Chain A
């Protein structure tokens, strides 16, 4: 299917280069800045050897748990759940507050915003997908996307059974961001493994099939108000590019083609990562960011804004 389509070509012609790459560029900027913020002080030490570095800490720790300006705690809520499941109950209040802060943030902006705007593994799997498309690799193993929810359950059961954060021993997501800040060791092998898995074995294999963190944030995202809307779905010309770029392509069709069935013009599925790539790539400006409670635009023709969202 993807053999002749040059993804985004039409969008660039119609909307201009910036509009066709806006969300992708903003997303990469976000991912890289987050890594940089954690690395500022170590980088400062590294670049000025011998002399004192006067930079203060902005973010200390890693994505599992961190402190903003040495005061505001943040903790991965799934990790906190695992700690509780492992039977450790004397948790310091800081971790609990931190988990609620993170929970509240992703509840607001969309659970899987973590996946597409924060998680460094996303850059690895996106690269694998890009190369897979470039090399025109198709096929591989196909399996259910629901596996991730099973894995999520398994991770919690595993914590309870072993009485430890067993999944954290091998979790590639925490291994990568921790490794980038504190040293990878053999962790590179796992990351290369995921890259190869996504490249040869399964299209979008790790992030949309297996990763329990994505599954957790996906469940959270079901409740989020910030959603991708398809208010201008009448203008869809069936080019199919959004299906190609979407890491969760299965969630677009019911909304895009659901007007007759009375499906609201908003992608409510928790699996949506709010990456906004469908907005970029659509030459017809079908999609835009909006809130889920918004009423469907009655006059579809007025929705053709020059700036989406």
Chain B
């Protein structure tokens, strides 16, 4: 509209009029840009909350990580059509899940774990990863025993329904035998989920005998599982990996520390070199006073003849021998 007006006035070749229509054109332009910008801002802000990952949305098997998923899914619903059990739904406006994207609600309709995974191969963009061919490798979510107060296994009663319906029997859910302190003489058969095997299909959640909310519930994995800091070394796992004890009694003691980590004692490294001098951590610019001077101080945790606390340990070993 503004275009045609500029053209019209241009043909009238009146400089005043063309100035006015230029003003008009520019202000129309600015108005349009502002309007569209606000429209976009609104949608953008809405998308911030709509795309925030919701705990209830369990994606079909093979779904790539949620951040990529909301960029890749065309919301076409072919997966919904291909699901033989009709468990998948496309979210509608106002749902907790981004509009149009597929999800299922495990409590009412869990994934039945079809061996041929029919929902995946027809996904046009690969939002459902076509390389998933073994349904047992799907990671839709992770089951969590959320209600340990009401779960009847924790009350000392026999249930094990979740254990029995689990398609990865004995791998994704195991029963932990625990002493029943209430009765003093019975065992509790407590379900424990293992994330290395659980696919998040939700069959356990569906089967849970509790009314309303289940005691075991599937969550997106990032909500249900944390990450153990990399500095933790689980001795029993290292032992298992090595196939035996990591140290022998005759081994010279050494700290098995990750790279760049130092034990520290009063600003001086606890580890000594061959000559018995403390090795100072490289980031320690100014080493504290030599350890010998502090020998007599009472707050030393391991007082002894040597400045090196390790000697105390070594002495103990020698005495034992």
Same assembly: yes
Q: Which of A83, A143, A155, A182 is B72 in contact with, Cβ under 8 Å?
A: A83
- Quote the shortest CB–CB distance from B50 to chain A (angstroms): 5
Question: In the complex, are the beta carbons of A66 and B76 less than 8 A apart?
Answer: yes
Interface residues of B in 75-114 (CB under 8 A from A): 75-78, 80-82, 89-95, 98-100
Question: Which residue of B is nearest A60, CB measured?
Answer: B81
- Quote the shortest CB–CB distance from B175 to chain A (angstroms): 40
Q: In the complex, how many residues of chain A place their beta carbon closer than 8 angstroms to a beta carbon of chain B?
A: 61
A169 interface hit (Cβ, 8 Å): yes
In the complex the two chains form, what is the Cα distance from A94 to B128 in whole Å?
13
In the complex the two chains form, what is the Cα distance from A65 to B124 in whole Å?
7
B126 interface hit (Cβ, 8 Å): yes
Question: Given the complex, which residues of A lie within 8 Å of B124, measured CB to CB?
Answer: 61, 65, 67, 73, 75, 92, 94-95, 98
Question: In the complex, are the beta carbons of A178 and B123 less than 8 A apart?
Answer: no
In the complex the two chains form, what is the Cα distance from A70 to B47 in whole Å?
32
Question: In the complex, are the beta carbons of B126 and A92 less than 8 A apart?
Answer: yes
A174 interface hit (Cβ, 8 Å): yes
Given A88-B125, A187-B92, A190-B93, 8 extra CB contacts under 8 A: A60-B81, A62-B77, A64-B74, A64-B76, A86-B72, A150-B33, A155-B40, A175-B93
Question: In the complex, are the beta carbons of B72 and A91 less than 8 A apart?
Answer: yes
Question: Given the complex, which residues of A lie within 8 Å of B36, measured CB to CB?
Answer: 147, 150-151, 154
Question: Given the complex, which residues of A lie within 8 Å of B290, measured CB to CB?
Answer: none
- Quote the shortest CB–CB distance from A231 to chain B (angstroms): 25
Question: In the complex, are the beta carbons of B93 and A189 less than 8 A apart?
Answer: yes
Interface residues of A in 164-216 (CB under 8 A from B): 164-170, 174-175, 178-179, 181-187, 189-190
Question: In the complex, are the beta carbons of B100 and A178 less than 8 A apart?
Answer: yes
Question: Given the complex, which residues of B lie within 8 Å of A95, measured CB to CB?
Answer: 74, 124-126
- Quote the shortest CB–CB distance from B58 to chain A (angstroms): 18
Question: In the complex, are the beta carbons of B28 and A144 less than 8 A apart?
Answer: yes
A246 interface hit (Cβ, 8 Å): no
B63 interface hit (Cβ, 8 Å): no
Question: In the complex, are the beta carbons of A147 and B32 less than 8 A apart?
Answer: yes
Q: What are 14 A-B pairs at a CB distance below 8 A? A: A60-B81, A61-B124, A70-B122, A86-B71, A92-B130, A146-B3, A163-B70, A166-B47, A166-B51, A168-B99, A169-B100, A175-B93, A178-B90, A183-B90
Question: In the complex, are the beta carbons of A182 and B77 less than 8 A apart?
Answer: yes
